């Protein structure tokens, strides 16, 4: 905790020789305002609200009432608003600048999406409202579902999963239901080395044994190794395509054929669909289930754990096992919700529910707005521009940063670099911290695990050439400093509200409550 109370960072001499950086009495730096924790400004003895005193009611908590004060700080409305506004200015956002996080697809979210999502007919409806009163909302879910099926060439789609990882769970539950229905419960899921961490986690969560499939030296699934491992105990393979090295799995059809021949099913992690939307239909590649991150490919904002939406497209083989409820268009053109009570024999195979209701309505409206405003041709251009931008970064840093797969042709939507060639003692972390001083969010680091000191950069299609050039210039400068062994880089960031924190301690012993004893315990 002491680190929070330390003085704000002072830049070393090299940062600005012309103008010294004098300390201010307030520790504010012009518009960059130093902000303490809310517990440090608000007294727990005061309240910002003028309540009428009430007689202490008789407790109905059976002796379980709180013994000590709840300890919430009391602030006036203005103090509260200022606190959160000041904090928000210390944050980085897609609306401030380029967000190069690989494997995340942080793209601009058009304001039109927000306007539509906030229309009262979508925003203010209740999931238990009678179906006859929410026909428009159901029509939106249905139309989006049709688009997703068309874009992926798949037979069905489950709209309710609320994130990519939740979609993976949905896909594996459908796969398990299909295998059990044919009396062939299998126990192993194969996951390539380069998989996103959520893939093995989901398989393990479902109770499967997870086994690795190695990558080839050019960063793709080793088809021969996969074929050699297939057998009667393998339920499915989970393959990310394009993969987390930013490469298209060219053998995808051969992989699917081999997996199907062995009686197993193919799960495709479609979080990187942004790179291929409008160009490749996963259904044509033999995929049985794939989640789509609406909050990546279809622009809706994300971060900090939500909100997200991860619809799962399903092949003919898996469609009968899709979760309930779902929207069905009736012959008279109206829409119905198929629930347990109404599913009937036709959907008797459903594995159950993923969520209490129907999924993320706000994300559905945003995604459909994005799709309709782009049209089919516009979506095709999205993937083209996203891939072009990533290759522009990859080639612009030729000879500056090591690109482990740069020699094996163009990348897809993200460019992957390693720490090879940095001076002794300099790491990917130093470059990431340097980027903060340069006014950028760092790239994804140390992922994928198959590359040493990985730096994974995904610019997306929404960045202009001018923005890319500025980012490349910053990265080039940092790479050159790290290669030349510029010691000052090891102290970066100098200009951020906080310097280098003890991230391991923060992850291992997070202090999530403001209680003096807890703080003392954590300090030990
Ligand atoms: C983002 C991502 C996921 C997980 O999606 P969430 O919505 O964060 O749960 C899975 N796989 C890949 C390749 C991803 O990029």
| Residue 269 CA to ligand 1 centre (angstroms) | 8
309 lines ligand 1 (CB under 6 A): no
d(CA 266, CA 239): 8
Rounded CA gap, 158 and 201, in Å?
A: 21
Q: Which structure tokens are listed for 383?
A: 């993937």
> Does residue 269's CB lie within 6 angstroms of at least one atom of ligand 1?
yes
CA distance 199 to 240: 9
Task: Confirm or reject: Cβ of 164 under 6 Å from ligand 1.
Answer: yes
**Which residue in the block uniquely carries the two structure tokens 């993320």?**
360
- Structurally, what CATH architecture does the domain formed by 154-326+341-355 represent? 3-Layer(aba) Sandwich (3.40)
The preferred substitution site among 194, 196, 299, 447 for testing ligand 1, maximizing ligand atoms within 8 Å of CB, is 196
Mean pLDDT by 10 residues, the chain (524 residues): 39 50 83 88 78 84 83 87 93 92 93 95 94 96 98 98 96 97 96 91 97 93 97 97 94 97 98 97 98 95 78 97 95 93 80 93 96 97 98 97 91 97 98 97 94 97 97 98 98 92 90 67 63
What does the domain layout of the chain look like in residue ranges?
A: 1-31+499-524, 35-50+69-90, 154-326+341-355, 376-498
Residue 49 pLDDT: 77
Q: How far is the CA of 291 from the centre of ligand 1 (A)?
A: 9
CA of 228 to the centre of ligand 1 (A): 28
Ligand 1 proximity of 272 Cβ (cutoff 6 Å): yes
CATH class of 376-498: alpha beta
Given a contact cutoff of 8 angstroms between Cβ atoms, the answer to whether 521 and 511 are in contact is: no
If one residue of 202, 270, 271, 412 were mutated to test the ligand 1 pocket, choosing by the most ligand atoms within 8 A of its CB, it would be 271
| pLDDT of the residue at 8 | 44
What whole-number distance in Å separates Cα of residue 500 and Cα of residue 498?
7
383 lines ligand 1 (CB under 6 A): no
pLDDT at res. 521: 61
Q: Is 24 exposed, middle or buried (0-12, 13-18, 19+ CB in 10 A)?
A: exposed
Q: Does any ligand 1 atom lie closer than 6 A to the CB of residue 240?
A: yes
Please report the pLDDT score of residue 7 as a whole number.
41
pTM exceeds 0.85 for this model:
yes
311 Cβ closer than 6 Å to some ligand 1 atom: no
Pocket perturbation via mutation, ligand 1, pick of 103, 106, 458 by most ligand atoms within 8 A of CB: 103
Long-range contacts of 469-474 (CB under 8 A, 24+ apart): 470/98, 471/98, 471/100, 471/393, 471/440, 472/393, 472/396, 472/397, 474/435, 474/438, 474/439, 474/440
* Sheet strands side by side (includes 415-417): 415-417, 455-457, 444-445
- Strand partners of residue 402: 418
Residue pLDDT, tens place only, 132-181? 999 999 999 999 999 999 999 999 999 999 999 999 999 999 999 999 99
């Amino acid at each position: 905790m002491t680190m929070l109370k330390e003085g704000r960072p002072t830049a070393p001499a090299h940062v600005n020789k012309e103008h010294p950086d004098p300390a201010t009495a307030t520790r504010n730096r012009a518009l960059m305002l130093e902000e303490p924790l809310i517990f440090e400004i608000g007294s727990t003895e005061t309240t910002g609200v003028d309540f009428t005193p009430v007689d202490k009611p008789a407790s109905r908590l059976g002796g379980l009432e709180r013994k000590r004060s709840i300890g919430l700080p009391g602030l006036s409305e203005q103090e509260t608003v200022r606190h959160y506004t000041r904090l928000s200015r210390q944050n980085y956002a897609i609306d401030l600048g380029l967000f190069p996080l690989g494997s995340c697809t942080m793209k601009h979210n058009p304001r039109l999406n927000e306007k539509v999502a906030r229309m009262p007919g979508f925003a203010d409806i209740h999931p238990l409202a009678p179906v006859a009163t929410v026909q428009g909302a159901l029509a939106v879910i249905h139309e989006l579902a049709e688009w997703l099926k068309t874009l992926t060439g798949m037979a069905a789609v489950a709209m309710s999963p609320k994130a990519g990882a939740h979609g993976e769970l949905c896909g594996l539950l459908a796969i398990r239901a299909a295998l059990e229905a044919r009396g062939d419960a299998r126990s192993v899921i194969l996951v390539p080395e380069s998989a996103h961490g959520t893939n093995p986690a989901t398989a393990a969560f479902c109770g499967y044994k997870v086994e690795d499939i190695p990558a080839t030296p050019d960063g793709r699934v080793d088809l021969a190794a996969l074929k050699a491992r297939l057998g009667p105990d393998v339920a499915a393979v989970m393959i990310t395509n394009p993969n987390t090295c930013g490469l298209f799995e060219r053998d995808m059809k051969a992989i699917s054929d081999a997996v199907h021949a062995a009686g197993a099913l193919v799960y495709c992690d479609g979080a990187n669909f942004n790179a291929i939307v409008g160009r490749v239909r996963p259904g044509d590649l033999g995929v049985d289930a794939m989640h789509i991150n609406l909050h990546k490919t279809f622009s809706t904002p994300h971060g900090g754990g939500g909100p997200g939406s991860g619809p799962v497209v399903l092949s003919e083989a898996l469609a009968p096992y899709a979760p309930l409820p779902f929207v069905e268009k009736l012959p008279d053109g109206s829409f119905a919700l198929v629930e347990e009570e109404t599913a009937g024999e036709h959907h008797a195979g459903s594995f159950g529910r993923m969520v209490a209701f129907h999924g993320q309505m706000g994300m559905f409206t945003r995604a459909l707005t994005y799709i309709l405003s782009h049209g089919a041709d516009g979506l095709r251009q999205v993937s083209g521009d996203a891939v072009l931008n990533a290759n522009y970064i990859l080639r612009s840093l030729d000879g500056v940063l090591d690109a482990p797969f740069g020699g094996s042709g163009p990348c897809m939507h993200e460019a992957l670099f390693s720490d090879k060639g940095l001076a002794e003692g300099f790491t990917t972390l130093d470059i990431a911290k340097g980027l903060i001083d340069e006014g950028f969010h760092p790239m994804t680091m140390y992922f994928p695990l198959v590359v040493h000191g990985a730096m994974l950069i995904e610019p997306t299609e929404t960045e202009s050439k001018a923005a890319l050039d500025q980012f490349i210039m910053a990265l080039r400068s940092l790479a050159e400093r790290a290669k030349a062994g510029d010691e000052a880089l090891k102290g970066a960031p100098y200009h951020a509200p906080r310097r280098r924190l003890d991230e391991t301690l923060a992850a291992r012993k997070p202090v999530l409550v403001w209680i003096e004893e807890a703080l003392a315990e954590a300090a030990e």
